[in-house]
A and B are shown apart, each in its own frame.
Chain A
């Protein structure tokens, strides 16, 4: 128990990973359900949790809740096939790399703000009966003991208060730790650096299969993911510029307030265009329709995972959903205020930060509040994931040239212009706020919204003035020689 008190991140990591792995399984069910609802069907609704074998549960269908389990068992039991001529090592490395990369990037998500804990520890063994003065060896020994109980990711707040209690001497220690797995002051950078590695999974998988369709899928995937990384990073930069930090926790913390004491200070309201660009790019990053060119069934059989079967295929499949969770969670943290539960948080003070709400609404003394915040965060993430699925079953796939022209002719210039506009707005409206490290003020938010609208309208007009793209329907002239060599054509002439 003591171990978990000094290493809370281990518990958080276990809880988060279990929740996410379970969520992935059920996201696949949700995807199938959404697909069928959109198509006026009902979707899988036969397999209950008894899987047709376990007594009592056997005859309950439970709306298909057992389907992911049945799918998992099926994946495990399928033949693990590797084509002749496939690269033995790389063929196995690719799916493992893909899933590892996605799971690692979950580590820096700020699930529940900052938890403040006060503990009273017994220091009688060091100082018997008296409160030692500062500087004495006993005092230093007490300080060492106090420091030992502070989690590695946390920090001591103030000086421990040492006092004589019944039966000895006690020290009152207050410390704070962020309610997340790892604290990283370059959190955003880390996530996107790691997620960008997923392109290796696609390329290596495509190359190692020794199959031309897989190879083409891998190439397309690489070109697409690298192209969309650019506008993704640029739209992200708008947010980072506003807050002057790469720490996801801090970005969420500064959104957990209100403009005009009613509108949640979420970035989606002051940077809607950046949000739209970001959303488009994470669709492309996650290889989801309408950007699923790497696995276009109609053209490439199955794309980079054509040759994969059994659990190796399952890893590719799961990493697609895990990637959706990660990118959606980052989207929530950057644009939807992370764990911030607007309006409802007024009902219970620990939820809105009960230590020093003026300094940071993130700090709370209640563990329950942290858990509720994590649940809120997760619920928002699920909503974004639902948008992913909704989009997938609404839009047809882009053609490859359309995909590239969307990235380089539209998204990159727009995100560059938006970045410029954001910088200008900060220069004119937010200089004081930036220096004081305050939250984005109401005026600045309005100015930012205005800048977004202007950039959107300007890009609409600019699109009319862009030189026309090469014609999509390039017709070849009928060859003269052919015409003459044919007796029929000759007679007609």
Chain B
């Protein structure tokens, strides 16, 4: 399954406002995208959750500087992953 890795740029992590913006963008994609946080040092992975779910993203608790894995399948998956990975890597705090 196509994947992208991106580091969370938002200083406050993927919480309320950044999560809302990201979930909105994910809902606009033609494919279902999932987000997971890979386990560190053999720890368990967190997720995956639906990228379009604000609550899913919030419970993931991805922090500033953490790497997340985006995955999607089907037509348009590559482009969707590119644009969402870019969004994660940009600070959405303003």
A and B assemble together: no
